[in-house]
Amino acid sequence: MAIRIVPDVAAPLTVTAIDLVGESVWPAYSNWITYAMTIVGYGSAMLGYGGDFMKNIGVSSMPLTAKRIYDVVRAPAPVSKGLAFRNRVARYPGPAQEAPFQGVKLT
Does the residue 86 lie in any domain?
A: no
pLDDT of residue 59: 92
Total number of domains constituting the chain: 1
Decide if 34 is inside a domain: yes
CA–CA distance, 55 with 50 (Å, rounded to integer):
7
What's the confidence (pLDDT) of residue 89?
Answer: 59
The boundaries of the domain holding residue 17 are: 13-71
pTM metric for this prediction: 0.65
Taking only the tens of pLDDT, the chain with its 107 residues reads: 788 888 888 999 999 999 999 999 998 889 999 999 999 999 999 998 888 899 999 999 999 999 999 998 987 877 665 555 555 555 566 666 777 777 788 77
Q: Flag whether 93 is in a domain.
A: no
Report yes or no on 83 lying in a domain.
Answer: no
pLDDT at 24: 93
Q: Is residue 17 part of a domain?
A: yes
| Residue 31 belongs to some domain of the structure | yes
The Cα–Cα gap between 52 and 68 comes to: 25
SS3 string of 35-98?
HHHHHHHHHHHHHCCCHHHHHHHHHHHHHHHHHHHHHHHHCCCCCCHHHHHHHCCCCCCCCCCC
Residue 100 lies in a domain: no
